[in-house]
Structure 1
Amino acid sequence: MSKNQQYQSPNSSISTQQGAVLIVVLLFLILIILAGVIAVKQSTTDLRLATSDQINALLLQSADNANQNIEQTINSSSESDIYKDMLSRSGPFGYFILDADSFDHEYVFCFRPRDRFFDISRTSVLTPTGTVFGGKTGYCNPSNSDDYVSKRNASMTQVNISLTPPSASNEAFGSYTIGQDSGEISSQAFTFDINSIAVLPAYADATVGTDNCFEQTSRLHTVSNSEKTIGGCMAKAGVPNTIVYEQANVENLSLRTKCVDFGTGAGLLCTLPSS
C-alpha cells in the first residue's frame, strides 16, 4: 500500500518572511519620507514668516523715515534751504498755503534720503482732472537707482501730500488764530494728509494693466474703486507695500511779531489798556 506524503518546501517559509520584511521596510521608508516632507514644509513656513516680518519691518522703517524727515524740516530753523523750499510757492506746503485754488490737488515727490531727501525740481502735482504739473519727475521710478532708499536698490518711498478734506467734525473757524484777521494768511493753520508709501519693486511689476501704480492718487475719497489708489494698485499688482499716514498742522507765522509782556525789555512793547 502506497502512502502519499505532502512535503513543504523550506524555501516557501523563507520567501514569506522576506516578503513581510520588505513590506515593513517600505512602511518605515514611507513614514520617513512623510516626516521629511512635514519638516521641509514647516521650515519653509517658518522661513516665509521670518521673511515677511523682515519685509514689513523694512517697509515700515522706510515709510516712517520719510515722515520723520518732513517733521524735522518743518520744525527746524526757517533759515535752512530745505525749509525755504518746502514752504515756498513751489514746495509741498507753500503750494497749498499760497494758492487758494490748490485745495483739491495732490503734491508728489520721491523720498531720496541718500542726498537731500527733497528736490524741489523733481516734483509733480496731480489734479482731479488727471493733469500733472511738473511732469512725472516726482513719481518714483524702479528703473532709476537714485530713487531707492539705499544703494541696495531694495525699497523706495513715495510721499503724497494733500490738504485734509473738510468734514462735519471740524469746528467752524477752528483753523484760524484767535485775535487775528481771517483775511491774513498768517492767521490760518492748514491741515495736511501725508501718505508715505514704501514698496519693494523687485517682487512684482508696479503696474496694473495700463496704470502705473506710482501715478495713482492717495486720496481714497476721490475714487470709487480702491484699486485706483496707489496702495490698492500696489496690492493688486502684488508689490509688497506699507503706507504710513500722518496728519500734520502747518501754520504760517511769517507776519507775527513777538512782543514782551507788560512793556518790559526790548522789542515791541505790549502795554496794559488804560481803562
Structure 2
Amino acid sequence: MSNMRPYRGSTAPATQQGAVLIVVLLFLVLIIMAGVIAVRQSTTDLKLSTSDQINTLLLQSADNANQNIEQSINNDSRSDIYKDMLSRSGPFGYFMLDAKGRNNEYVFCFRPRGRFFNINNTTIRTPDGGSVVTNNTGYCNPTNPADYVSNRNASMAQVNVSMTPPNASNEAFTNYTIGQDTDKISSLAFTFDINSTAVLPAYGDTKIGNKDCLAQSSRPSSSMDSTDTISGCLSSASVPNTTVYQKVNVENQSLRTKCVNFGKGAGLVCTLPSN
C-alpha cells in the first residue's frame, strides 16, 4: 500500500477561480468609475452650454431694446414713433417738458413683434415706489404672452428711462447745444440713463412674496435690501436676468448754419418741443 501525496507546486482549482473573480471585479469597478466620470463631465458641459445660451439670449433681448430706441430717435422726425418718444407723454418728452417729474422713472415693456413702444402701456414710477396715476401698466407681465420678445415666450425685456442725476464734475454749459438760443427748450441737451432688463420668467417666479421684482427701481439703491432694485430682486428670486445700461444725450445737433435731424439728415428742420 503506497502513500500518495499531492504535488506541492500545484494550486487547488478553487483558489484559481477566486483569483479570476477578484480581477474581474476590479475591472468592473474601474469601468463603473470611468462611466461616472464621463457622465459628470457631460453634465457639466451641458450646464456650461446652457448657461452660455441663456446669457446670449438675455444680452440680445436687452440690447435689441436699446437699439430700437436709438433708431427711433435718430431716424425720421416725421415718423409716429419719433413723435411718441418726444411727446409730453413719451419716455423723453415727459422729462424735457415736465420739470416736476424729473426724479421719476419712465417704464415700458419692450414688445418688438409689433410697435415696440405703446404710449398707452406705460408707468411713471416715483422714487418712493409709487406711480403716477395711469390706467395701464408699463411693467412686463410674465402671464401675458404679448409681453414676450418672441412667440416662444422665452424672454422679455423691460425698459426704465430716467434723467441722469446732476454731477458736480460736469463741464459748465454742457446742457446747451452749439448755435441755439438759450431761451428755447430746443437749445438744451438732455442726458438720460436707460436700463433695459431682460429676464427668463420660465426659470422662476419674478415675485418674492408680495414684492414684484419688475416693479422695483432700476437705479442703484443705498438700501441694505438688495431686492429694492430690479436686478437684485430677480437674482434673489434665482431668475436669470441681464441689465444693459446706456447713457444717452438727446439734443439738436447744430452746425450753426443748419439743423440736422438728431445726428442724421440733410438739412431737414429738426426741433424739440417748444413748450
Q: Please indicate the TM-score interval, normalised by the length of the shorter structure.
A: 0.7 to 0.9
Question: How far apart, in 1, do the equivalents of 2:185 and 2:59 lie?
Answer: 35
Question: How far apart, in 1, do the equivalents of 2:145 and 2:130 lie?
Answer: 27
Asked which structure has the greater CA Rg, the reply is 1
1:220 match: secondary structure: coil
How many residue pairs get aligned? The number is 257
Q: Kindly indicate whether residue 195 of structure 2 is the aligned counterpart of residue 195 of structure 1.
A: yes
Letter in 2 for 1:28: F
- Name the TM-score, length of structure 1 as normaliser: 0.86
Q: Does the aligned pair in 1 maintain the 2:207–2:237 contact within 8 Å?
A: yes
1:25 matched to which residue of 2?
24
Letter in 2 for 1:115: G
Question: How far apart, in 2, do the equivalents of 1:218 and 1:139 lie?
Answer: 12
Letter in 2 for 1:14: P
Question: How far apart, in 1, do the equivalents of 2:249 and 2:185 lie?
Answer: 14
1:53 matched to which residue of 2?
52
Q: Kindly indicate whether residue 90 of structure 2 is the aligned counterpart of residue 68 of structure 1.
A: no
1:78 matched to which residue of 2?
77
1:96 matched to which residue of 2?
95
Q: Kindly indicate whether residue 165 of structure 2 is the aligned counterpart of residue 165 of structure 1.
A: yes
Any residues of structure 2 matched to 1:109-120 within 5 Å, and which? 109-120=108-119
CA shift in 2, pair 1:222/1:252, >3 Å: farther
Any residues of structure 2 matched to 1:191-270 within 5 Å, and which? 191-221=191-221, 223-251=223-251, 258=258
Q: Does the aligned pair in 1 maintain the 2:216–2:230 contact within 8 Å?
A: yes
User: Quick one: percent identity of the two aligned structures?
Assistant: 67
The alpha-carbon deviation at position 167 of structure 1 amounts to: 1.6
Letter in 2 for 1:51: T
Q: Does the aligned pair in 1 maintain the 2:177–2:188 contact within 8 Å?
A: yes
Contiguous gaps of at least 5 residues in structure 2: 260-266, 268-275
Please provide the CA RMSD for this pair.
Answer: 2.6
Letter in 2 for 1:189: A
The alpha-carbon deviation at position 223 of structure 1 amounts to: 4.2
The alpha-carbon deviation at position 179 of structure 1 amounts to: 5.2
Q: Does the aligned pair in 2 maintain the 1:220–1:226 contact within 8 Å?
A: no
Letter in 2 for 1:79: R
CA shift in 2, pair 1:214/1:32, >3 Å: same
Question: Which whole-Å deviations, capped at 9, do the CAs of 1:43-89 have from their partners, x for residues lacking one?
Answer: 11111111111111111111111000000000111111111111100
1:14 matched to which residue of 2?
13
Question: Higher relative CO (CA 8 A, sep ≥ 6), structure 1 or 2?
Answer: 2
- Name the TM-score, length of structure 2 as normaliser: 0.86
The alpha-carbon deviation at position 156 of structure 1 amounts to: 0.4
Question: Which whole-Å deviations, capped at 9, do the CAs of 1:194-227 have from their partners, x for residues lacking one?
Answer: 0111111001111123211100100104644333
